[in-house]
Chain A
Amino acid sequence: MNGAYLDLVRAHAPLLMIVAPLVGAALTLVSGLARLSWVVACIVGGVAAVIGIDFALAVFSAAPPAIAEVGVAIYVDGIGAFAGALMALTLTFVLVAAGATLKEAGASAAPFNVALLLCAAAGWIGALMARDLAAVFVAVETAWLAAVGLTAVNAVQARAPLNGALRMLSLGGVGAALMLLGIGLLGRAAGSFEIDALPLAHISMPSVAGAGAALVLLGLAVKAGVAPLHAWSAAALGRSSGVVSFGVGVLAVLGALSVMTRVSAYTITAPELGAAISAALAGLGAVSVIVGSVQAVGSTNLLRLAAYAGVSQAGCVLLSVALGSPAGFAAALMQLVAFAAAGLALYGGAAAGRVQALDRLDGYAQRAPLASAAITAGALSLMGAPLTIGFLGRWRLVEAGVGAGWWWAAGLVIIASLSGVFYGGRLIERMYFRRANAAYEGEGGLWRAALAPALLAAIVGIAIGVAPNALLRAAAAASQLLTGLAT
């Protein structure tokens, strides 16, 4: 009996990964109580993560699973399965970690916070599983508006996050318009809105299709905070609460980058579009690496530093995708995992002690040794230290880049790592070798356990860096599975 239910769940796994968070969001709003809503959200997130990981493992096994027809245009491919599982797992981590800071905007706002987090995750997972570009657009906008709402709801103690939310709304609106226009142009030129048809479509107007694809990617790049389109990120994250840091800095950016990777993988493999899309992505990635690195080095705010480091990391993801090869896509997926782990560790470590300005990190290791350890691991990963997942992701990019003759991409990776040495080293020096200048403001008692996801992310980041074979195999399988499983 149980086996039958399990089979049923597995057959509907992609749909459940989208629906479960949405149902969970409704339940949290109904529950009304802050802690209860958080518990419900954590359970729902955990269920989605288990389903997602189980589904991904099945997809990458020798015998891919059959997916039930449900009348919804779902199209599962390797990148979607990989990134969907990663999103669901990250959602669970984010929900658990946000528990300690959930009430910063007031207890009444807590159910809204978790509901918006769940909606955002559902939107990004939906975009990763959507069959046609219109559905991708709807899912992305759902997720983005949830992220904007999350930022605005928590803009209670300072005006800066409200300004950030406004920027997110306005820039995201521009991005949405560009994306919609691009989808129209691409659909007109390719004769279909279905994403899986793009690589094989007979494109009658390559220039129009190219412009359309570029606009779609540009719209997504705004939401991923890719430089120079990242004007919202510092404003939204610089003085944000913990839940916004996790929800926007990690979940939203990860989701947007994942969707960008997926859409790029289809457009770049279309013969008429490949070269132009590759050049555009490479240029955008290069700018993002340089701008993000420079801004991270100059940051005096930990949250902004993490945001800018994320911009640099996003640039590395785009460079990987721009290669247009399975090796490049695999490198991009590895970097997405690295981004999630480093982001969770950095934002989690900062949220544990309510640290925003860098000088508040002075002597942090004495006040919060575990949070400092998480930040250290995140910083090491961002600087690409060996035996961390950050090194692994960048190595794969360099390997793929050198294989394709893109030596300059290796140079950009070196720049990203070098800047990581400066800003990461500064974090470590402040935490471990300065005298504390402020009292610990983090949660005490049981809520210290909210640091667990950050620590777990740090440990996972190092464990994968030491023994990456399973993840490498999964990423390689995902990158070669663009033909999709079922509808």
Chain B
Amino acid sequence: MTPEFALYAVLGAPVLQALLVMLVPKPPGLRDLIHIGFSLLGAIAAAYLVSAVAHHETARIVLAQPLPNVDLAFTIDPLGAMMAAVLNGLGVLHAVHAAGVARAKQERAPARLLAFIALAMAGVTAVAFSANLFSLFVAYQALALAAFPLVAHRGDEEARPAARAFLATLLASSIGLFLPAMIWTYAIAGALDFRAGGMLAGRVDALTANILLVLYVMGIAMAAIPPMHRWLPASSNGPFPALVAIQALAVLPAGGIGVLKVVTFVFGPGMGEAALASQLLIVLVGIGMIVAALIALSKQDIRERLAYSCMAQSLAAVMGALLSLQPGSFAAAGLFAAALQILALACAAATLLMAAGTTAAITGRTTVADYAGLGRVMPWTFAGFAIASASMIGMPPFAGAWAKLWLITAAAGSGLVWAAGLAAAAAILTFTHLGPLAANALAARAPTDAFKRPDGASILLAAPVILGSGGYIVFARAGRSARGLLVADLDRGGGPMSEQRKTPPPRSGVTGVLFVFCLAALIAGLAFDLAGGVRVRFWIGDQPGGRRCRWRGPSFCSWCLPGRPRALCWGDGIESQKGRRWKLTLNPGFGADHRRVADPGDAAHGAFADDRCVSARGVLAAARSRVRRGWRDGADGTAGRSVQTR
């Protein structure tokens, strides 16, 4: 395998994967096999590229020349290879998990969901390997368009406006801000190819540099810099596999990678001309981190909480990149902090969201109040959740800790101690919205509901979370070699990194105090709440009026379409009452791949005349009818959807 071939493979495999998944939506086993297999192929190719970069090999492919002197080109460099390897590696776990969730939750149009996840992975990989600003812009736009169907996947009244907001924010900012900046850069530099040391270095005055920096950073809205962050909470309406792709593996990391590439290859580290704008942006980003973490604390829906939490982490990566523009010898520390933060964010967010997805698929719970004690019945899943939370918070020895350590080091080293303070405050606030949640899930009394499996999840759902959380430890150990690889890339043009490489970050001072504080707060909080009562409470309120009961029984499910085989499946579900509203959640049995259909003559039968045309409304109506009739015995496992009836 040559590096060029591997580059084609890592970019092309997800596209081929998407096409095949769309072409072969059934049987689900084959569809999932294709999805996982091609994800694995992409990850192997990305890993090979890391090896190639480590051996100083180069590769560049040109797909088209859409403009004179401007290629649609991709090249390997250490930064891109490292990002692609980690993201595609996590992508394999996500592929397994997405297949499991699609089965367990009986997602609508699973083939479309998986296909656009694959396309989103292709988009972020293209962003990572882009060889020039134009390719970055194209990959960015392609990624926005590929992720748009993920947000709109449910197609309901909530998803559509969210999807519109998602697309409008991302495309409008890129066309309104990024594109003018790119044109301006082209007018100044006469080319768009990335250059180590910066395309604009020595070519622009301070005013131009500052304006361009603002245009670029705000134009890359995928980094979720306020006020361009509107797309991120909007994307929370998507199904969990889509959320993992958007917030952990593709869109949000692409924003960080984009900012990092622009700062490194367009401006160049230590570019003093842009110092003013970079400081103003650091203020904005720092305040944004704190506000995002506070908003996350106020959110009771786990998806919204994690969205704002991810936003805070992504802003930390942007802060690191911006710190590298400050004059001085700590530019490399900022760049490395940004790169490490992106990778840590991807690992942590993917694990958290996959764990939340597993929980939702098995228990139907999506509010943080419902997480209490779930760790007792889903220990593996919530062990992963806790480790990911710790990494997100910045607790050693996990990957997030080192990223924050470098970030604070870079800020303090650049003379911006207040920026270090903002980062530290954001880390503490992250602790407040994730730490108690994880602790509550693990330490509180187990819920009375019983689950089908000891862990409550199939292997497809549980394994990716466990392996994802294991990634932090591996990554933390590999941090030193990763640093060497990344700094080598960022330092190709010479400059301050060479010095920085020799200088290890300080292990004491402000950083140490902050980590000790975080750790002490966690221990004190846990001790206080455990000693105060049976349930860990912190800031999590109890669900008012909630009452759960369990329904379980054998379900004889059949395919009512002519010529289809009959199958025996098992159903499981939960009924609950909240005030005057009944909630019925049916979870399909393990091994059941398609929508189940009721026996002929059943009230739901008509809704399944054609499984492709079946509407959620029809399923809800059928299930509602069952509830009205006092249905309890569970003659079949109808849907795997949440039904609310008055």
Chain A interface residues toward B at CB < 8 A:
383-387, 391-392, 395, 398-399, 402-403, 410-411, 414, 417-418, 421-422, 425-426, 428-429, 432-435, 465-469, 472
Contact = CB atoms under 8 A, between A and B. Distances in A.
Contact of B66 (A386, A411, A421, A434): A386
Contacts of A466: 63-64, 66, 72
Contacts of A435: 155, 615
A386 B134 contact: yes
Contacts of B66: 386-387, 391-392, 465-468
A414 B180 contact: yes
A410 B172 CA distance: 15
Contact of B160 (A385, A403, A434, A469): A434
Given A385-B141, A434-B155, A421 B172 contact: yes
A313 to B, nearest CB: 16
16 contacts: A383-B171, A385-B141, A385-B145, A386-B134, A387-B66, A387-B138, A391-B66, A392-B67, A399-B183, A402-B183, A403-B187, A414-B175, A418-B176, A425-B168, A432-B152, A433-B159
Nearest to A403: B187
Contacts of B175: 383-384, 414, 417-418, 421
B65 interface: yes
A428 B152 CA distance: 11
B42 interface: no
B320 interface: no
Contacts of A414: 175-176, 179-180
B14 interface: no
Contacts of A383: 171, 175
Question: Among the interface residues A395, A428, A432, which one has the most CB atoms of the partner chain B within 10 A?
Answer: A395
Nearest to B175: A417
A425 B179 contact: no
B163 interface: yes
A386 B137 contact: yes
B198 interface: no
Interface string B216-254: 000000000000000000000000000000000000000
B153 to A, nearest CB: 8
B36 to A, nearest CB: 26
B324 to A, nearest CB: 28
B338 interface: no
A387 B160 contact: no
A-B pairs with the 6 shortest C-beta distances?
A: A433-B152, A386-B138, A421-B171, A466-B64, A417-B175, A402-B187
Contacts of B155: 433-435
B190 to A, nearest CB: 11
Nearest to A432: B149
A466 B164 CA distance: 27
Contact of B152 (A418, A422, A429): A429
A387 B138 CA distance: 8
A392 B167 CA distance: 22
A385 B149 CA distance: 17
B68 interface: yes
Question: Among the interface residues A386, A428, A435, which one has the most CB atoms of the partner chain B within 10 A?
Answer: A386
Interface in B136-179: 137-138, 141, 145, 148-149, 152, 155, 159-160, 163-164, 167-168, 171-172, 175-176, 179
Nearest to B184: A402
Contacts of A429: 152, 160, 163-164, 167
A325 to B, nearest CB: 16
A469 B67 CA distance: 8
Contacts of A387: 64, 66, 72, 138
Interface residues of B, number: 33
A467 B64 contact: yes
B138 A426 contact: no
B232 to A, nearest CB: 18
B183 to A, nearest CB: 5
A410 B141 CA distance: 19
Contacts of A386: 66, 134, 137-138, 141
Contacts of B134: 386
A385 B64 CA distance: 15
Given A435-B615, A466-B64, 7 more contacts: A383-B175, A386-B66, A386-B137, A414-B176, A417-B179, A418-B176, A467-B65
B183 A398 contact: yes
Interface in B22-65: 63-65
Question: Among the interface residues A414, A421, A469, which one has the most CB atoms of the partner chain B within 10 A?
Answer: A421
Interface string B63-79: 11111100010000000
Nearest to A433: B152
A399 B134 CA distance: 14
A466 B135 CA distance: 12
Contacts of B187: 402-403
B65 A469 contact: yes
B141 A421 contact: no
Contacts of A392: 66-67
B2 to A, nearest CB: 24
B172 A418 contact: yes
Contacts of B65: 467, 469
Contacts of A422: 168, 172
Contacts of B137: 386
Contacts of B68: 472
B81 to A, nearest CB: 24
A49 B168 CA distance: 40
Contacts of A465: 66
A441 B222 CA distance: 40
A410 B180 contact: yes
B167 to A, nearest CB: 5
Contacts of A468: 66-67
Contacts of B138: 386-387
A433 B237 CA distance: 14
Nearest to A363: B155
Contact of B167 (A399, A417, A425, A472): A425
A387 B64 CA distance: 9
A334 to B, nearest CB: 11
B160 A433 contact: yes
Contacts of B63: 466
Contact of A421 (B163, B168, B180): B168
A395 B65 CA distance: 13
Contacts of A402: 183-184, 187
B540 to A, nearest CB: 35
A433 B179 contact: no
A294 B141 CA distance: 23
A80 B635 CA distance: 76
Contacts of A432: 149, 152
A399 B137 CA distance: 17
A472 B67 CA distance: 9
Contacts of B168: 421-422, 425
Contacts of B179: 414, 417
Contacts of B167: 421, 425, 429
A244 to B, nearest CB: 31
A486 to B, nearest CB: 31
B419 to A, nearest CB: 32
A384 B184 CA distance: 17
Interface in B458-476: none
A433 B163 contact: yes
B66 to A, nearest CB: 6
Contacts of A403: 187
Contact of A425 (B72, B171, B176): B171
Question: Among the interface residues B64, B145, B149, B175, which one has the most CB atoms of the partner chain A within 10 A?
Answer: B175
B560 to A, nearest CB: 22
Nearest to A421: B171
A27 B518 CA distance: 88
A392 B68 CA distance: 10
A414 B184 CA distance: 13
A410 B183 contact: yes
Nearest to B70: A395
Interface in B597-644: 615
B225 to A, nearest CB: 19
